[in-house]
Amino acid sequence: MLNTVIFDMDGLLIDSEPLWGLAIQEVFATVGVILSPELTHLTTGLRTREVVSYWHNYYQWEGKSAAQVTEEIIDNVIAKILATGQPMEGLEYILQFFREKGFKIGLASSSSLRLINAVLDHLDIRDYFQAVYSAEFEDYGKPHPAVYLACASALGSDPLECIAFEDSVTGMTAAKAARMTTVVVPEAHNRKDVRYSLANLQLNSLLEFNDARLHLLMK
């Protein structure tokens, strides 16, 4: 019986993916690495340190350590979110929907905990969540299921009792590997990616989720 919902954060609850792209481009430019928007999309859903490691292995820049670049990116993203970050369409609706159903609600993100906390406070949604987990504290990030399994455990839920909401293929893969029922809400330019067919349900907006779709997932 489904009784728990766990949300990803970036690109699902807050429109932060464009901000991440800008922050990555700006910080990498300080070490002479120029990334196009297409290249930044290659690492969507990974932990920041994994993104930095990926490009550091490729470009082998000097002058700043990978750890320093990682922290600068996180600082940059937080600043952009606090300045211009907007909730995704249907944010309050979907959180209130599951609260009214009596579901346990968690958050499982690849972002650092300090960035998660900045978003929760910026959007004023912290009170909706009974468990908040960052993959930065796990041995493996998404697409490994570790952060989803840790969040489910903290909520006292079996993974088979959980619905996971995601926006990226990497996150969807993590949720499916955790054996959770998975709903994806991809960005508009990614909606035709055939890999999303692995999800139990695909939506164009959080507003499209309703009683009828919940019932279908429970069958």
Q: Rounded to whole angstroms, how far apart are CA atoms 156 and 98?
A: 17
143: preceding bond cis by omega (within 30 degrees): yes
Assess whether 10 carries a catalytic annotation.
yes
How many C-beta atoms surround the C-beta of residue 71 within 10 A?
Answer: 18
The tokens describing 109, both together, are 């993100």
Residue in the structure block whose two tokens are 């996150």: 171
Task: Find out whether 98 and 206 touch, Cβ atoms under 8 Å.
Answer: no
How many C-beta atoms surround the C-beta of residue 154 within 10 A?
Answer: 15
Angle at 170 between CA 151 and CA 103, to 5 degrees: 35
Q: Rounded to whole angstroms, how far apart are CA atoms 11 and 45?
A: 9
CA neighbor of 90 nearest in space, from 163, 17, 14, 19: 14
Q: Which of 8, 15, 75, 121 is flagged as catalytic?
A: 8
Q: Which of 10, 121, 158, 193 is flagged as catalytic?
A: 10
Count Cβ neighbours within 10 Å for each residue of 83-96 and write b for 16 or more, e otherwise. Answer: eebebbebbeebbe
Residues taking part in catalysis:
8, 10
